[in-house]
Amino acid sequence: MARGIIVGATHYPTKEAVRDVCRGIVQRYGIGGDVTNPDDDSFLRLLLERHPEYDLKRGEGIAHFRVIAHTGYGRRSVGLALVRLDGEVSDFSWNACLTPLSHRTQVLAAMRYAIADQVAVARNAALTSGQPLACSVTGAPIPSAAELHIDHADPTFLVLAEEFIAGNGGVDAFRILPDAGSAVSYIELEDKMLERRWQEHHRERCVLRPVLKRVNLSDLRRADSRGTPSP
């Protein structure tokens, strides 16, 4: 099983490596700055899903993140907060997000990483189809590539993953590729034949669809995360 910390499907060798990413975000935006870079935003969403009070923190959905100042115990510090879709601001500790993940959660993260290429192909197809982009959930136009996300219609990713796990010996039969060194890497399944079977199972059964970013990061993610955090 991989050591270190897993955020989404990315493996960091130490907790301090994750803290360094958080500190870098804080430094780039400064106090009061909203996090605008898509990679920074994605990292924080995935990190927050590890928080023990994730559902309470996120409420009805996250609009974006912000760098804030804390004042307490006679000193001032800088941290991160999420801005909910309703405009409410809630701070969170990145240290609270660094507790170890269960083996099941690691397996699901590795399975998501294994089908990332399929999601990328679906996204590229949507962008190059020549047809106007519209959200499959709301019907609203998708105004730009930055607002385009690819989501699983029924069956959801979690349903597909759970049925494959159940049909292949249960979650304990899925081993995580051991940590190969000190660099940042991606969490992967150790058994590559099993991984290829999962990729084919997903390819045959999945229904990928374009959705608005705000839809995928609110209602859809809330529904999917009842079973597992979703990158």
46-83 tens-digit pLDDT: 999 888 888 788 887 899 999 998 765 455 678 999 99
Domain count, the chain: 2
Measured between alpha carbons, how far is 166 from 104 in angstroms, rounded to an integer?
12
13 CB neighbour count, 10 Å cutoff: 17
CB 33 within 8 A of CB 67: yes
Q: Which domain CATH number covers 10?
A: 3.10.450.40
Joined tokens for residue 138: 């709301």
pLDDT tens figures, 183-210? 677 889 999 999 999 999 999 999 999 9
What pLDDT, on a 0 to 100 scale, did the predictor assign at position 85?
87
Query: Higher-confidence residue: 4 or 143?
Result: 143
Q: CA-to-CA distance for 65 and 82, rounded, in angstroms?
A: 4
- Asked which of 69, 97, 125 is the last residue of a domain, the reply is 97
How would residue 114 be classed by pLDDT, with cut points 50, 70 and 90?
very high
pLDDT of residue 109: 86
**Does the pLDDT value for residue 130 go beyond 60?**
yes
Residues 130 and 205 in one domain: yes
pLDDT 10s digits, 2-38: 568 889 889 898 999 999 999 999 999 999 999 999 9
If you compute the radius of gyration of the chain from its CA atoms, what whole number of angstroms results?
A: 18
Residue 149 lies in a domain: yes
Residues 93, 158, single domain; the answer is no
**If you average pLDDT over residues 136-151, what whole number do you get?**
91
**How far is it, in rounded angstroms, from Cα 115 to Cα 192?**
13
Same domain, 132 and 200: yes
Half-sphere exposure of 145 (CA within 13 A, CB side): 9
Alpha-carbon gap, residue 131 to 212, rounded angstroms: 16
Q: Average pLDDT of the chain?
A: 86
Residue that the structure tokens 């996120």 belong to: 58
* 184 within some domain: no
Q: 223 pLDDT exceeds 60?
A: no
pLDDT classification of 133: cutoffs 50, 70, 90: very high
Is 113 found in the same domain as 87? no
Query: 180 vs 169, which has greater pLDDT?
Result: 169
The share of the chain scoring above pLDDT 70, in percent, equals 87
My answer on whether 146 and 216 are in the same domain is: yes
Q: Is residue 119 part of a domain?
A: yes
Tell whether 231 is covered by a domain: no
Element (H, E) at 46: helix 38-48
Within this chain, do residues 16 and 92 fall inside the same structural domain, yes or no?
Answer: yes
Triad 204, 208, 214: Cα angle to 5°: 155
Confidence band, pLDDT 50/70/90 cuts, at residue 177: confident
CA distance 1 to 187: 10
- Give the range of the structural domain holding residue 195, as residue numbers without chain letter: 103-174+191-224
pLDDT at residue 228, as a whole number: 37
Q: What are phi and psi of 180, to 5 degrees?
A: -95, -5
> What per-residue confidence (pLDDT) applies to 59?
80
Last residue of a domain, one of 97, 122, 138: 97
Q: What is the reported pTM?
A: 0.70
What letter does residue 182 receive in the DSSP assignment? Answer: S
Report the range of poorest mean pLDDT among 95-109, 149-163, 174-188. Answer: 174-188
Which of residues 97, 128, 143 is at a domain's end? 97
HSE-up (13 A, CA, CB side) for residue 105: 21
Say how many Å lie between the first and final Cα of the chain, rounded.
20
Within 10 angstroms of residue 166's Cβ, the number of other Cβ atoms is 10
In terms of domains, do 122 and 218 share one?
Answer: yes
Instruction: Tell me: do 217 and 123 sit in the same domain.
Output: yes
pLDDT band for position 100 (cuts 50, 70, 90):
confident
